[in-house]
Chains A and B, each alone.
Chain A
Amino acid sequence: MEFPRRSSPHQTGASGVAAVMRQVLYALVPGTLALAWFQGTGVLVHLAVAILVALGTEALVMRLRRRPVAPALADGSVLVTGWIVALAIPPLAPWWVTASAVFFGVLFGKHLYGGLGYNPFNPAMVGYVMALIAFPREMTYWFPAAAPGDWPVDAAAAIRAVLLGADEATLDALTGATPLDLVHAGTPPSGVFMLEAGPGWVVAPLLFLAGGLWLMHQRLIDWRIPVAMLGTMAVLAALLWLLPGERPAPLFHLLAGGTLLGAFFVATDPVSAATTVRGRWIYGAGIGALALLIREFGGYPDGVAFAILLMNGAAPFIDYCFRPRRGTG
């Protein structure tokens, strides 16, 4: 009797890339819902746009590359990219900001480098930073979040604003500085400010933290990267805070902007992160330091996305420096 030839191991225990991506999406859900709760229905509209454009772009590119389309869509990686971009776009920004950011991220950030597994930069961050540079005004359309449901516009108005555009006067009246903008305005928010600003600035990041901890517990992300990133950020922020002058407290930096979302869902993207154990410490610490320096001294309110992209670029060199040598274990 004859049998097929196979290479060992004859059994595997992994659940597959799609399952990993699915877990990441699940972990994003609580934070996303909180964001929608505090920032209005616009968040969900952007999410829908991002998902549609992400899937569409992936399908289009795979067809152009003459590769099978269905498995690429099924692996879920492009959904994660789109989802994260959507979370980074202000809730009242027009839909095409999200659409172009996702399209650009998937095309330039992912497929021009060879698709899944080959991209040196995180595609979501590529798309987001493109939008930040190309549409600086639209990228400030945040609400000064207050109490849940206490939105300046109702759901219908928010959807209309995203899909059809809101008039300038309304936007000027509605949107305001995020706490991070105040760092540059010279009036850094204190702990009291954060509470005054309402729970909206704190709850969503904490839920992203919870999702991240769950991924860590499932061993789907490496704990070293967020620990190194947040630790470095906290230490540097504490040093600056202790110096004379008006600086925000370390806790503010950890909670504000994209810190926690970035630390657990973007910096840990294995494709674009450093892969060696010691390299991951350096990589995470680099993101934490750069993000803080950009926030404190740079021209943009948040620095997490730039910091991640910069360290993405450094990751191959970091891995080269810290590669395990034979026999050293």
Chain B
Amino acid sequence: MSGPLHGFRGGLDLDGRRHTRDQAIRPGPLPRTLVLPLHQHIGEPAEPVVAVGDTVLRGQPVARADNYVCAPVHASSSGTVIAIEDRPVPHPSGLSAPCIVIETDGEDRWAPPLPPIDDPTDTPARVLRARIREAGIVGLGGAAFPTAIKLNPPADTPPDTLIVNGVECDTHLTCDDRLMRERPTEILSGAAIAAGMLGAGRVRVAVESDKPEAAHALERALEDSGLAHGPLAWTIDRIPERYPAGSERQLIENLTGRRVPPDGLPKDVGVITSNVATFAAIHRAVLYGEPLTQRIVTVTGDGVRQPGNLEARIGTPVSELVAHCGGYHPRVAQLVMGGSLMGRSLLDDAVPVIKGTNCLLAATPAELTPSAPAMPCIRCGACAEVCPEALTPQQIYWYTRSRDYTLADDWGVFDCIECGACAWVCPSQIPLVQYFRHAKGAIAEREKEQARAELARRRHEFRQERLEREKQEQAERRRRKKEALKQGKDDRKATINAALARARRKKSAEKED
């Protein structure tokens, strides 16, 4: 039932280190306080709609999405809003950001659900989109792009294929694997809803080959649910294990042979993709009216005592989630949100689980490669060989080091998907991705600077123009006044002359008399 595969260039053979793959999903803790960042997605932060002291119920919206690229936030348990303030959030900078803090009452009472949509196939896409947006669903694979926008492609290039991403290629992650094994029907149902909204006739569910049970469960569910005999063309595709097979662009290339242009999006090649957990969330939001208040998080690493897959409430402090997993091992040395290739290191475990949190990796020194001092680049080219985006990382590194950001840009630093394959193979152990992030930041900063300069220049030019115009207007006024004066003088002269003439005439007439 697998479709044809086209492969993708570069990549790595990784040891997936999926130690939690046999850990069934178990419920997460109900923490004393929940910390809900207003900005958990790509786009603009949400706006709070509650005040300190308000009591809230689980599933009740606490922040609304005013902007288009935004997602609302819902309370993930019942309790009282005790603060709306800056708290540390899972961001590599370690900076704080506005959060709504809820003290839970332990009763976990639900707000009344949104009205269930019993027959999604009979419901306009517009209504379903509004529901998905209202439920606060964002991409749960990690990037957290608001899903309702993804499911609203332009009319000129209607997508023909929906890709359900169950590849989960980064190390340590097993949350999607468990979801596919335990709740395959939810994923397929959500995918069917999305495909219906998009008008895509083909659904391809991609599963990495190290998850045979997941592929099996999906195949069985497809048969049992009757979806296999419906109007959509389904395939469950077993993708060879090769990092970063789950990266959107690589996945699309692998499954369809289409290359998303460097500045483009999947919709430009007629494809929409999302993570399996996103589709499960769509299923629940549409059929049961349940907003997104929880997600499955893999808690793993030798630094935690009882690793597992937890259905964690959004807003659960990482420390509480770890405590729920038996606490830290004394040798714990590093905390990473995500897998070891693309995850972000956390400075503090007070930060909450957010919608994009797929994994918490509490690692011992032996588990992760300690950052060895970087050696000089010997231009071996191994980085270019593994780069799935066909970049030449060593050159971009070289230009970044010499602060030649224009050349770094020319050589495609913005096409870098930060998968880390180059850094993985670099014999000189150069933290290449770190350099590329720096270059991107520097270029963005410079562009902002340029935009500011441009604005200042235009403002200056406008002022010059205005001054010039005013000068001209003044000159014009002066000229007119002069003319008027001259005219007046002439008029007076003429009057005098006329009077004189009259006098002369009179005189001569008197003489004649």
Interface of A with B (CB < 8 Å)? 1-17, 19-20, 71, 75, 77, 115-118, 219, 222, 270-271, 273, 275-277, 323-324, 326-327, 329
A9 B392 Cβ-Cβ under 8 A: no
Known: A17-B428, A117-B376. A8 touches B433 (CB 8 A): yes
Residues of B contacting A273 in the complex (Cβ-Cβ under 8 angstroms)? 379
Partner of B427, one of A17, A71, A275, A276: A17
In Å, the complex CA distance between A214 and B270 comes to: 45
A20 B392 Cβ-Cβ under 8 A: no
B372 at the interface (CB under 8 A from A): yes
B247 at the interface (CB under 8 A from A): no
Chain A min CB distance to B390 (Å): 5
Number of interface residues of B (CB under 8 A): 64
A17 B378 Cβ-Cβ under 8 A: yes
Kindly specify which of B44-52, B232-240, B271-279, B342-350 makes contact with the partner chain: B342-350
Q: Given contacts A8-B433, A12-B423, A271-B378, list 19 more A-B pairs with CB under 8 A.
A: A2-B349, A3-B335, A8-B341, A9-B342, A9-B420, A11-B340, A13-B12, A13-B14, A16-B428, A17-B375, A117-B376, A118-B376, A270-B378, A270-B380, A270-B381, A324-B392, A324-B411, A326-B412, A327-B415
B375 A275 Cβ-Cβ under 8 A: no
In Å, the complex CA distance between A115 and B390 comes to: 29
Interface centre among A11, A116, A117, A273 (most CB of B within 10 A): A11
A12 B369 Cβ-Cβ under 8 A: yes
B262 at the interface (CB under 8 A from A): yes
B319 at the interface (CB under 8 A from A): yes
B429 A12 Cβ-Cβ under 8 A: yes
Known: A2-B347, A10-B345, A11-B369. A16 touches B415 (CB 8 A): no
Chain A min CB distance to B447 (Å): 17
A324 B390 Cβ-Cβ under 8 A: yes
Residues of A contacting B336 in the complex (Cβ-Cβ under 8 angstroms)? 8, 10
In Å, the complex CA distance between A5 and B14 comes to: 23
A326 B410 Cβ-Cβ under 8 A: yes
Which B-chain residue is minimally distant from A4 (CB atoms)?
Answer: B334
Partner of B375, one of A16, A118, A219: A16
Known: A9-B341, A10-B334. A275 touches B381 (CB 8 A): yes
In Å, the complex CA distance between A273 and B371 comes to: 28
A3 B349 Cβ-Cβ under 8 A: yes
Known: A1-B349, A116-B378, A275-B379. A16 touches B420 (CB 8 A): no
Known: A16-B429, A17-B378, A270-B379. A275 touches B369 (CB 8 A): no
Which B-chain residue is minimally distant from A220 (CB atoms)?
Answer: B380
Chain A min CB distance to B233 (Å): 29
> Which 7 residue pairs spanning A and B have beta carbons closest together?
A117-B376, A9-B420, A7-B434, A11-B340, A270-B380, A10-B340, A3-B335
Residues of B contacting A15 in the complex (Cβ-Cβ under 8 angstroms)? 427
B395 A275 Cβ-Cβ under 8 A: yes
B485 at the interface (CB under 8 A from A): no
Interface centre among A6, A71, A77, A222 (most CB of B within 10 A): A6
